[in-house]
Amino acid sequence: MTKTQARRYFIARAKDVQRIMKDGSPWGFLCAAAFLDVLAKLVAGGDLKRTGYKSFVRKFLSKIDRSYQTFTYINGKQDLPDQIYHVFRCGIIHSFSLVPDQQAIRNGGRVRSIALCHKKESRKKHLPHLSNYSSGATRDAAVFVAEDFSRDLRKVVSLIFSQDAKQIEPNINRNIRSWLCQHPPIRGGF
């Protein structure tokens, strides 16, 4: 797969996530969490586990919106990359929940540190993407608006395949080739 083919492929998958995110269900967030995982492995050229995922959020996703790095919780912490991994990624993928397991809590995950909604609810309740939220059982969370988050994922894919990516990760082209040789993406009639 050439770099141009890979770019087209991952842009198409980002569009898939955008389409799924519009349906009003939590399934799009699960897809987004898994897609971020793949992108983190792609730019690193390997599976660096939680370190790679958090690094991807800090290095790449924060270039799309600085708030992914600078978001400040009500408690004063600026650890959104950690919460994205422990609560969003692991919570949704492994438990379909935003309540992290004990291992994630031991590693810094906090219960309901991320709140999910869709554009309709966001507008109705005046909850912009990456804003603070506190209500009921959710005491201190970052708001993820599905449509805005999926738009950021599409932008980060474009960044990964741009010339600017080399300034973030000098070996990105080699890393992408290495990952795709080891783990060719799903191909089919879509």
What is the tens place of the pLDDT at every residue in 148-185? 999 999 999 999 999 999 999 999 999 999 999 999 99
Residue 161 pLDDT: 97
> Mind spelling out the 3-state secondary structure of 73-135?
CCCCCCCHHHHHHHHHHHHHHHHCCCCCCHHHHHCCCCCCCEEEECHHHHHHHCCCCCCEEEE
Residue pointed to by tokens 């600017």: 164
Residue 10 pLDDT: 97
In angstroms, the CA 19 to CA 31 distance is 11
DSSP conformation class of 186? P
What is the tens place of the pLDDT at every residue in 5-17? 999 999 999 999 9
The answer on pLDDT for 115 being more than 80 is: yes
Residue 130 pLDDT: 98
pLDDT band at 1 (very low <50, low <70, confident <90, very high): confident
DSSP 3-state percent helix, strand, coil across the chain (nearest 5): 60, 10, 30
pLDDT band at 190 (very low <50, low <70, confident <90, very high): low
Residue 121 pLDDT: 95
69, 77 Cβ separation under 8 angstroms: no
pLDDT band at 188 (very low <50, low <70, confident <90, very high): confident
